[in-house]
Structure 1
Amino acid sequence: MKLLCTGAELADASSRGFDVDGQKLLAVRRNGRVYVYENRCPHRGVGLEWKPDQFLDPSNSLIQCATHGALFLIEDGECVAGPCAGQSLTTIPCHEDDQGIWVTL
């Protein structure tokens, strides 16, 4: 188990990027729940962020790839628009407790 950050460091409707032991990850909090994915687009294998910690579309309702605009559901990482439609981001198991947000790699 690896600690990503404290719960307070990931506000609702926001995203953050992390490097854990050389693995690039992204975390999103939506409606109080945390989702963690590998920061890698299934289409080109590139990082998703527009700039550091910016992974969401303008409405903060979808994860958006900065390279070609593919859109992914926050809740399960499924691509719903773009060249990788039907594919999904790689889910990273996570949980949150009083200490913070933890991932299992």
Structure 2
Amino acid sequence: MTDNDDFLPAPLCRLDQLADPGSLGVERDGEMLMVIRQGNRAYVYVNRCPHRGIPLEWVPNQFLDSSGRLIQCASHGALFLPENGECVAGPCAGAYLQPRRCHIGNGQVWLD
């Protein structure tokens, strides 16, 4: 094993682990993330509300509203667009979730 082995890429999850639409909470290098699936696209954000600095979900892996279309903060109901993390309703309207670049390859979601 070399020092570079610590930096080998590893998938966050398999795409088929996520419903469509769906969400999953994961931890990577001590950072709590959420993976959001919308069709054949995946988005990754830091699991932290820009308004209160707390995790967005109350129930593990449930980050989406009842429509499955928007990310919802369980604490105060703020709604975020999966495509860019913008808050479109709630006390942090106009703020953004912190994104992490990702891609889908070989049926898995990877951080870039």
Give TM-score, length-normalised by structure 2: 0.88
Matching of residue 6 in structure 1 with residue 14 in structure 2: yes
- Unpaired runs of 5+ residues, structure 2, are 1-8
What is the alpha-carbon root mean square deviation over aligned residues? 1.1
Structure number with higher helix proportion: 2
Q: 2:32 aligns with which of 10, 21, 24?
A: 24
Matching of residue 68 in structure 1 with residue 68 in structure 2: no
Percent of aligned positions that are identical: 55
Give TM-score, length-normalised by structure 1: 0.94
SS at match of 1:8: helix
- Which runs of structure 1 show a deviation greater than 3 angstroms over 4 or more consecutive aligned residues? none
Which residue of the partner structure matches residue 100 of structure 2? 92
Deviations, residues 15-40 of structure 1 (Å, cap 9, x unaligned): 00001111000011102100110000
Residue correspondences, number = 104
Could you say which structure has the larger radius of gyration? 2
